[in-house]
């Protein structure tokens, strides 16, 4: 019995010394993503998230203090301003429609510094992942298209009749020259087919950092997250500055 106690004490001492000598060994492991958030292929986007998590309720953005805010609510201005400069994550149910996110995304835009990105929280088979993005209004998107930079103007337009992959040189042609780049598959966006197209776009525009997703209001968060993942790529190394145009 004394020998068993001595062995247990030795094991505990070894574990403690290992943790002191190896800070990474004692760091908390990434936990699995909640089941309701969108899923992406393994390793896409950035690993983990440790900032402020915001959610949506009844088409309003929920602040950390529990207030539900729209972009135009004067009582929320101070709370949104207090978030500027912080790392912000947005946790959404994958089944939500983009049509329900205009107000929350407009409010989120007010909480971000210029050029700053938020994280759309998603999950792969092992852990929480972060898809960096900036919320863009229609006016901001139009200004981006008119600006001299970036040169490529790479964007993914998601509609009910399919996905168009577009750059300054025009639309990537699909099976029908007059149709979308990727027609729907069994009534759903062809997100599997989008991945190789975005690899090709990143190869064609190696100096471009920016690209965006322009979804219709009928797209779900799950579908849009998969499109953002294709833009972001493994370990977020494909297009580092991605934006999402909200309806």
Cβ density class 155-183: b for 16+ within 10 Å, e for less: bbbbeeebbbbbbeeeebebeeeeebbbe
Write out the two tokens for 118. Answer: 């938020």
Give the per-residue pLDDT at 65.
85
Say if 8 falls within a structural domain. Answer: no
* 24-28, 30-34, 64-68, 185-189: the lowest-pLDDT one: 24-28
Give the per-residue pLDDT at 14.
35
Give the per-residue pLDDT at 247.
86
Alpha helices, DSSP H, located in the chain: 2-21, 23-26, 77-81, 102-110, 138-146, 191-204, 221-232
Say if 4 falls within a structural domain. Answer: no
Say if 223 falls within a structural domain. Answer: yes
Please count the structural domains in the chain.
1
Say if 148 falls within a structural domain. Answer: yes
Give the per-residue pLDDT at 70.
82
Say if 30 falls within a structural domain. Answer: no
List Cβ neighbours of 59 (8 Å cut-off, separation of 6 or more).
70, 100, 101, 102, 103, 104
Q: How confident is the model at residue 150 (pLDDT cuts 50, 70, 90)?
A: very high
Q: Is 153 left (phi over 0), alpha (psi -120 to 50) or beta?
A: left
The three state secondary structure string of 128-190 is: EEEEEEEEECHHHHHHHHHCCCCCCCCEEEEECCEEEEEECCEECCCCCCCCCCECCECCECC
The whole domain housing 79 covers 46-245
Say if 18 falls within a structural domain. Answer: no
Backbone torsions φ then ψ of 211, nearest 5 degrees = -160, 155
- Other Cβ atoms closer than 10 A to 20: 10
Give the per-residue pLDDT at 20.
38
Say if 196 falls within a structural domain. Answer: yes
Query: What does the pLDDT look like over 83-131, one tens digit per residue?
Result: 999 999 999 999 999 999 999 999 999 999 999 999 999 999 989 999 9
Q: How confident is the model at residue 29 (pLDDT cuts 50, 70, 90)?
A: very low
Per-residue pLDDT for 234 more than 60? yes
Per-residue pLDDT for 151 more than 80? yes
DSSP SS3 for 90: strand
Question: What is the rounded distance in angstroms from the CA atom of residue 61 to the CA atom of residue 88?
Answer: 12
Q: What is the mean pLDDT of the chain?
A: 87
The residue that leads in pLDDT, 75 or 15, is 75
Per-residue pLDDT for 2 more than 60? no
Give the per-residue pLDDT at 39.
96
Provide mean pLDDT across the span 15-34: 45
Say if 209 falls within a structural domain. Answer: yes
Give the per-residue pLDDT at 4.
36
């Amino acid at each position: 019995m004394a020998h068993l106690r001595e062995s247990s004490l030795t094991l505990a001492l070894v574990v403690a010394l290992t943790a002191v000598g190896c800070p990474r060994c004692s760091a908390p492991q990434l936990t699995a993503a909640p089941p309701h958030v969108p899923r992406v292929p393994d390793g896409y986007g950035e690993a983990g998230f440790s900032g402020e998590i915001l959610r949506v309720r009844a088409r309003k953005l929920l602040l950390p203090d529990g207030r539900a805010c729209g972009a135009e609510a004067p009582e929320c201005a101070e709370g949104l301003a207090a978030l500027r400069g912080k790392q912000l994550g947005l946790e959404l149910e994958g089944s939500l429609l983009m049509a329900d996110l205009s107000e929350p995304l407009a409010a989120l835009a007010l909480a971000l510094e210029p050029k700053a990105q938020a994280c759309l929280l998603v999950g792969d088979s092992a852990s929480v992942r972060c898809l960096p993005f900036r919320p863009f209004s229609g006016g901001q998107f139009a200004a981006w298209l008119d600006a001299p930079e970036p040169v490529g103007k790479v964007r993914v337009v998601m509609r009910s009749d399919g996905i168009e992959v577009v750059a300054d040189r025009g639309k990537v042609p699909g099976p029908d020259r007059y149709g979308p780049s990727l027609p729907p598959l069994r009534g759903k966006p062809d997100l599997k087919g989008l991945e190789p197209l975005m690899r090709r776009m990143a190869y064609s525009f190696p100096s471009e950092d920016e690209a965006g997703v322009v979804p219709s209001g009928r797209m779900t968060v799950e579908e849009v997250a998969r499109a953002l993942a294709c833009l972001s790529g493994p370990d977020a190394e494909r297009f580092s500055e991605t934006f999402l145009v909200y309806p």
